[in-house]
Structure 1
């Protein structure tokens, strides 16, 4: 699971940073020989509520090689090392 934390928290004027929930961010997970892309969305469907974490299925793989987030601001954050299946990783937007 991936928790996206955008740079703008609403207390300070937007300084070129994304919204705090990372809505609109594109997450790319490299697992084995494939790349899995997902877009962070909230409020899908009627009376919907979404989890604050994003779950990306990786099949039978034990780890993913890397995770890359392209924030709505255009900034990019990458995981520094492989991530084990079943982990929760927090990806912060860099300033």
Structure 2
């Protein structure tokens, strides 16, 4: 899958809640030593979209938009809803489970 042709699917509120739940599972795995959150992303079926989203954030197009402070373009290019939902779930898991270890 090429990041130039990557288009995230249309999603609703429930879909983003499920992405947050998957992020929570990834965060739980990250807290456990020796277990990878990336492995959980693969098992949960979001690994490819995660990698493509990271590629978009690291692209020349994104870099040029950031350098020129073109905020509208930055918001249009990046899949912020997906990444934000995922990071929210990861953050909740890490903050709530890290104190147990």
TM-score for both structures, normalised by structure 1:
0.27
Q: Larger relative CO (CA 8 A, sep 6+): 1 or 2?
A: 2
TM-score for both structures, normalised by structure 2:
0.26
